[in-house]
Chains A and B, each alone.
Chain A
Amino acid sequence: MAPAESILEVRDLVKHFPLTQGIVFKRQIGAIKAVDGVSFDLRRGETLGVVGESGCGKSTLAKVMMALERPTSGSVKVNGRDITKAKGAELKHMRRNIQMVMQDPYTSLNPRMTVGDIVGEPFEIHSEVLPKGGRRKRVQELLDVVGLNPDHINRYPHQFSGGQRQRIGIARGLALQPEVIICDEPVSALDVSIQAQVMNLLDRLQKEFNLAYIFIAHDLSVVRHISDRVAVMYLGKIVELGGDSQIYDRPSHPYTQALLSAVPVPNPEGREARERIILQGDPPSPANPPSGCRFRTRCWKAQDICAKEEPLLQIRPGTDHLSACHFAEALDVVHVQS
């Protein structure tokens, strides 16, 4: 398969939040390094999964890509133009092309707006896209696309279930026909029996509209199902990046290995014999990350070099994909039986 052209190019992206002290006279005493040097490409029509523990910077990355936050440094090129430097009309125009579906279907929709207003709001902001007269019809089409009853256009969010509300968010994300949709934990808040419905919908829409997804989630089996490639983040950095089977069958970074081995397998057969890498301790604070490799404080492979030299994200002798570990070595930790 020839690599498709990149629609999104993220380079050396950094987002630090100032850490201040004092109430009246705020002084900066440090920085939370939420995203700290992240680079990757997103290709047209593909899904890049992003996984990692709470606080590793996934949502911050998403917000910077959406230009909802300004980065401290680095660039995010959408079709070759840097969205982080764009302003005014240009930024507005670029935003049409990159939309977001939020985590919480219960709080991310304005309770006082009807479904029609919510899904149609992008047309108000970008009034040049569609003349007023055609909007209602377009909104009903969008509701139909995501499997909601177009006649429910005048209902309010509270009249819908969680899964339906997530569909409303997706319909809104589709309104301006973007090429990229960033999904930040789109199914986490939903019941297991509803998650599959929303996943199938995302899948179908991707094929229909050739959408590219950034899919952020903590459920690793959900991410595997939908992703072509997967990025594993730890403390503001990507530690491993590769195709879905490269990451899941041949993980090479100790953190990825620990993460995968910790995922409970929904099959009780042979559970006594299953091996687990149980990590000790908690992730360090992003305000004060360890020197060298950020994972070294919890890593069973760590040597002196790990404290001194930062391992770059590159293809290494023991791997066929990008890994940020001095001692990267492919290891099947999950032993998938199928």
Chain B
Amino acid sequence: MVEVLSGPTGRGSYSGALLEVENLQVEFHTRQGVAKAVNGVTYSVNPGETLAVLGESGSGKSVTAQTIMGILDMPPGRVAGGAIRFRGVDILKLPEEQRRRIRGEGISMVFQDALSALNPVFPVGWQIAEMFRIHRGSSRSDAKKKAVELMDRVRIPGARDRVNDFPHQFSGGMRQRIMIAMAIALDPEILIADEPTTALDVTVQAQIMGLLADLQRDSNMGLILITHDLGVVADVADKIAVMYGGRIVETAPVHDLYRNPAHPYTKGLLESIPRVDLKGQELYAIKGMPPNLLEMPSGCAFHPRCPYRREDCATAVPPLYPISGTRGSACHYWREVVDGSR
């Protein structure tokens, strides 16, 4: 078991998906009560594959990612159940010392608030070089050389001259590229990118997404892209996991999901996108509000907003029903959703 994790030589010696999250449960103990932020999340990623995790604010996308990375705030957070297998080994069971080795080299992450994550008082080159000094024990000059290479790789113009510049001297898009440089510094097998372009303009977003795609192609990384942008997802995802109220409500290959969604929430999202041919008409809108974690609706969490609901939706929690080998929907009435009858 342990050799499987011992550095790059161990790569490839496992069967199954590179990263598998299975029935993960994470809760927060707050003064108002216990909030089940993640309540049964299952997804997997393979080398070279892009999994998009879609869902509204507060649905548990980032908390799942933080748990995979082993950086969850504990307390108030607590993993209440499930497994996270990296190359077949449940990393939730590993001692911190071994998890630290996986962080950065095995699984790495670009954070949601990346733009503020750089330390303002150190030059960016120094911050990148630090990765090599700490994890690889590189010498100062060696680490700096590698930092310049990386800045080149993420297309910072004139990297050699800018390695001593401070974060505020870079634009938002460039700082995001520097964060990506730090995340890929140790050549991880899995990169989790949490809303990597949300704060950026569309023209810069296009640059960053192009960069991520190239990096992924070069090193065959598995990519978990967390976003709520249905356009970005359609552009880059191989497969999609849709989250709602702490659960995965639908998983599907990208084309299937857009062509024929199998969960009422996914379907509502897709229908509420403004379309040119519907200009001047009322937009389809999912009625009601996203759920409050502390007062999660009984049964299917989506039932108060759902046009397909029947009586049992308020009492029976729908499991992730398998639709085919690669698709699943957590809706009791997924057949009707797929058939398009409402």
A45 CB-CB contact with B under 8 Å: no
Please give the number of chain A residues whose Cβ is less than 8 angstroms from any Cβ of chain B in the complex: 42
B286 CB-CB contact with A under 8 Å: yes
Stretch from A126-134, A274-282, A302-310 forming part of the interface with B: A274-282
Q: Which residue of A lies closest to B235 (CB)?
A: A264
Instruction: Tell me the minimal C-beta distance from A98 to chain B in angstroms.
Output: 25
Tell whether, in the assembled complex, residue A200 and residue B282 are in contact, meaning their CB atoms are under 8 Å apart.
Answer: yes
Q: Mark B176-209, 1 if CB is under 8 A from A, else 0.
A: 0000000000000000000000000111111101
Majority DSSP secondary structure for residues of B touching A: helix
Determine the chain A residues whose CB is within 8 A of the CB of B279 once the complex forms.
224-225, 244
**How far apart sit A192 and B228, CA to CA, in the bound complex (Å)?**
8
A319 CB-CB contact with B under 8 Å: no
State which of B57, B232, B274, B290 has its C-beta within 8 Å of the C-beta of A221. Answer: B274
Q: Which residue of A lies closest to B229 (CB)?
A: A264
Q: A268 and B56 in contact (CB under 8 A), knowing A193-B272, A225-B283? A: no
Stretch from B13-21, B100-108, B167-175 forming part of the interface with A: B167-175
Q: A193 and B56 in contact (CB under 8 A), knowing A218-B202, A278-B210, A282-B204? A: yes
**How far apart sit A117 and B272, CA to CA, in the bound complex (Å)?**
33
Our count of residue pairs bridging A and B at CB distance below 8 angstroms stands at 117
A248 CB-CB contact with B under 8 Å: yes
Tell whether, in the assembled complex, residue B286 and residue A193 are in contact, meaning their CB atoms are under 8 Å apart.
Answer: yes
Tell whether, in the assembled complex, residue A258 and residue B272 are in contact, meaning their CB atoms are under 8 Å apart.
Answer: no
Instruction: Tell me the minimal C-beta distance from B169 to chain A in angstroms.
Output: 12
A262 CB-CB contact with B under 8 Å: yes
Q: Mark B296-309, 1 if CB is under 8 A from A, else 0.
A: 00000000000000
List B192-245 residues whose CB lies under 8 Å from chain A: 201-207, 209-210, 228-235, 237
Q: A266 and B234 in contact (CB under 8 A), knowing A53-B203, A54-B172? A: yes
Tell whether, in the assembled complex, residue A222 and residue B228 are in contact, meaning their CB atoms are under 8 Å apart.
Answer: no
Determine the chain B residues whose CB is within 8 A of the CB of A268 once the complex forms.
234-235, 237, 254-255, 258
A163 CB-CB contact with B under 8 Å: yes
State which of B157, B231, B277 has its C-beta within 8 Å of the C-beta of A266. Answer: B231
16 additional contacts (CB under 8 A) given A162-B57, A163-B289, A264-B202: A53-B201, A53-B204, A54-B201, A193-B286, A196-B283, A197-B285, A200-B285, A225-B274, A263-B231, A264-B205, A264-B206, A266-B258, A278-B210, A279-B206, A279-B207, A338-B277
Q: Which residues of B line the A interface, CB within 8 A?
A: 56-57, 157, 171-174, 201-207, 209-210, 228-235, 237, 254-255, 258, 265, 268-270, 272-279, 282-287, 289-290
